[in-house]
Structure 1
Amino acid sequence: MKVAWLPAGLREGFRTAYSPRTISSNLPIRRAIFKASTKQFTTSTRAQGGIAAPEIKFGGDLGPDGEEAPFYARLVPESPSYFTAQPIFIDDLLTLQCLVRRYSALPTVKAGEAPRVAWRSLVEYRNMVGESVKASKYHKIVELLHRLNSIHPSLMPQDVRAALNEYKKDINPYRNDTKVIPIDNLGRALGAGKRKSSTARAWVVEGTGEVLINGKTLAEAFGRIHDRESAIWALKATDRVDKYNVWALVSGGGTTGQAEALTLAVGKALLAHEPGLKPALRRAGCVTRDPRRVERKKPGRVKARKMPTWVKR
């Protein structure tokens, strides 16, 4: 058989078989090249100090003692919660549960004697962690916070205080103290009140029961008896009508709005003279602002809510 009649591929195979050189010398050696990934092992969009997987350190980096740090081929996340759907929430829940177990033996105060704290709302917590946490899950965190907050304040550990501060609102509404109205050198206390679009300012001083409103007497300022009673209702509810004089300035709105605005102004000024009357004035409704206003008219309606009368023909 002539070699020239064979196909080109078969002739090349014969030459390789009879050649003294090895096959490995002709083939190029492919070496495995490992490339470092630039992706971070995290499911959160929030930039934070301790994420689920820290920055990857490859060979050649120096450790804290100056020696070359060992390189592990298998990357291990910082927290086991990385493999859950909500790693940051799980870490927070486990941290609070650990604190509750650690300090369960500390004495606690009664439910009504614990410091009042305004915790972050569900929306604020979602924005803080960057995860869609359900309301039922966040309720578990709030229950643990209440348990830690019930620890006696004098014995509360520092790490518990730090954990509670992370979930407190920036402004605690329970710590907003009421501003005390001062009494000037003439014995007058100034109170202000609003109702609808009316405003009132009232100066209350110890006297015999005289009332002047915009320079007019009570009967001249208000024609209706109900408005006259509303103007001095704070004094009448506490039996102080004949013990204080009132000089008031009112503006805006109608007579009913001005009279009820004057009720709030006189009540606040009376509290400056006698703070012990606050429970009685609160029961009488003299220190609470009425936020109701006239509802606006809507397009397509006769009034605020009234619809046009339907006519068949």
Structure 2
Amino acid sequence: MNLLGVGRSTLRTTPAVRNVQASRALATTTPYVPPASLEHVDPRPRRSRVKAKPESPTFFTGRAGYYDSIDSLENAIHHSQRALKNLHLLPLPAFAKEALPPLPAVWKTKEDLSNLLSAKLTTSRYRRVTSLLGQLHDHRRIADVGGYSELSSGLSTVLELFERDNKAAVLARGVRKPVKFDEYGRSYTVGKRKESAARVWIVPVKQRAAPTPAEAQATSSDFGAVDPISIAPEKSAAPVTTTEILINGMPLSKYFPLPADRESVVRPFKLTGLFGAYNVFAIVRGGGTTGQSGAVAHGIAKGLAAHVPDVEMILRRSKLIRRDPRMVERKKTGLAKARKRYAWVKR
């Protein structure tokens, strides 16, 4: 059998196969069309997508709200600075800037400002915003002192957007309420330490006036005739009084048997030298003897600072006006006390 002849016969293409190949070649080729024949033919309509123009040029930064706010604040600072220069209020010398009355401002927190600007703020970006707000706030203070209310009100409308809603409550946190006096000149204060709280009333001592010579002669005449030499007028000293301290209706020495507790109670009087000028009545509840004595001393110090404002700095430096913030640490689970552990015994 001739294998070579069989192979050659199979490699030969038939006329039907050649016709299919020719038709495929003609289908893939693009026929030529003269341009003159396409003059009256409408082109295929194409769909055109009209892209909306971004509202802000910082749209593609990802933090459009943040950068727009920065631009607006910088523009406001530029315009206000130019207006103050035209009014001859800038630049201010250092002593004039220090003499400006304080106008406190409380800016929003980082989280609230992020929600306002619709962008997450890092610490550096938050500081940049607050620094710009501080410059604008200084311009408002200068305009307010200068008497230009229109400029000051315009800056206030911008700054109110970045201030907290509870601004008054935040500013009132560090302000101590003034001590009130009744019609008799008595003060009422509250002292605290640890778990103890003391209500303290401080009553001024009324000094007795020295008797006049006429009163002394009248009293001496009641006892009969006396030698005129012996009734010569002498300088009578004012009666010496001591401060009386009652705690829960009991004297100080009875209520606090430990000398250390009594010393802490009378320490404000020792530092200020006001022994004998005031009487103290206190009602104390809660805690132990150390906490109660500290609470009474705290209330006495606040009352003395209200009666005699000159001694307030002495009591403040001695850390008697400020409440002692130390408290007993709570017990922890699995421990004997706050930090004490149970003894580990190897079995």
Query: TM-score normalized by structure 2?
Result: 0.65
How do residues 146-295 of structure 1 correspond to structure 2 at under 5 angstroms?
Answer: 146-151=134-139, 152=142, 153-155=144-146, 156-170=151-165, 171-172=167-168, 173-174=170-171, 177-207=175-205, 208=241, 209-295=243-329
Q: Where does residue 100 of structure 1 map in the other structure?
A: 77
Q: 1:116-141 CA deviation, whole Å, 9 max, x = no partner?
A: 32222212212333321111111111
Task: Tell me the secondary structure at the aligned position of residue 62 of structure 2.
Answer: coil
Aligned-partner residue type, residue 193 of structure 1: G
Q: Is 1:214–1:249's contact at 8 Å kept on the other side of the alignment?
A: yes
How far 1:157 sits from its partner (Å)?
3.6
Aligned equivalents of 1:278 and 1:241: distance in 2? 16
Q: Is 1:191–1:267's contact at 8 Å kept on the other side of the alignment?
A: no
Q: Which has the higher helix share?
A: 2
Q: 2:108 aligns with which of 98, 107, 120?
A: 120
Q: Is 1:200–1:248's contact at 8 Å kept on the other side of the alignment?
A: yes
1:86 lines up with 2:71 in the alignment = no
Q: Is 2:196–2:285's contact at 8 Å kept on the other side of the alignment?
A: yes
How do residues 1-16 of structure 1 correspond to structure 2 at under 5 angstroms?
Answer: none
Task: Tell me the secondary structure at the aligned position of residue 267 of structure 1.
Answer: helix
Runs of 4+ in 1 over 4 A off after TM superposition: 29-35, 111-114, 310-313
Aligned equivalents of 2:164 and 2:268: distance in 1? 36
Aligned equivalents of 2:172 and 2:134: distance in 1? 18
Q: Is 2:246–2:252's contact at 8 Å kept on the other side of the alignment?
A: yes
Bigger shift: residues 227-236 or 203-212: 227-236
How far 1:280 sits from its partner (Å)?
2.0
Aligned equivalents of 1:194 and 1:269: distance in 2? 13
How far 1:310 sits from its partner (Å)?
4.3
How do residues 32-47 of structure 1 correspond to structure 2 at under 5 angstroms?
Answer: none
Task: Tell me the secondary structure at the aligned position of residue 104 of structure 1.
Answer: helix
Aligned-partner residue type, residue 246 of structure 1: V
Task: Tell me the secondary structure at the aligned position of residue 181 of structure 1.
Answer: coil
Aligned-partner residue type, residue 110 of structure 2: L
Q: Where does residue 124 of structure 2 map in the other structure?
A: 136
How far 1:92 sits from its partner (Å)?
0.9
Q: Is 1:197–1:253's contact at 8 Å kept on the other side of the alignment?
A: yes
Task: Tell me the secondary structure at the aligned position of residue 281 of structure 2.
Answer: strand
Aligned equivalents of 1:95 and 1:147: distance in 2? 13
Q: Is 1:233–1:286's contact at 8 Å kept on the other side of the alignment?
A: no
Q: Where does residue 110 of structure 1 map in the other structure?
A: 97
Q: Is 2:204–2:278's contact at 8 Å kept on the other side of the alignment?
A: yes
Structure with larger Rg: 2
Aligned-partner residue type, residue 80 of structure 1: P
Bigger shift: residues 102-111 or 136-145: 102-111
Task: Tell me the secondary structure at the aligned position of residue 81 of structure 2.
Answer: coil
Bigger shift: residues 198-207 or 124-133: 124-133
Aligned-partner residue type, residue 178 of structure 1: R
The change in CA–CA distance for 1:243 and 1:91 in structure 2 (over 3 A counts) is same
Task: Tell me the secondary structure at the aligned position of residue 150 of structure 1.
Answer: helix
Task: Tell me the secondary structure at the aligned position of residue 58 of structure 2.
Answer: helix
Q: Is 1:200–1:265's contact at 8 Å kept on the other side of the alignment?
A: yes
Q: Unaligned stretches of 5+ in structure 2?
A: 1-22, 24-42, 85-89, 206-240
Aligned equivalents of 2:183 and 2:61: distance in 1? 68
Q: 1:133-175 CA deviation, whole Å, 9 max, x = no partner?
A: 1111111111111112222133454332222222222224345
Task: Tell me the secondary structure at the aligned position of residue 248 of structure 1.
Answer: strand
Aligned equivalents of 1:160 and 1:239: distance in 2? 51
Q: Is 2:247–2:281's contact at 8 Å kept on the other side of the alignment?
A: yes
How far 1:77 sits from its partner (Å)?
2.6
How do residues 61-72 of structure 1 correspond to structure 2 at under 5 angstroms?
Answer: none
Q: Where does residue 224 of structure 2 map in the other structure?
A: none
Q: 1:165-199 CA deviation, whole Å, 9 max, x = no partner?
A: 22222224345643222211222111111211111
Aligned-partner residue type, residue 129 of structure 1: L
Q: 1:227-266 CA deviation, whole Å, 9 max, x = no partner?
A: 1121232222211122110011111111101000111111
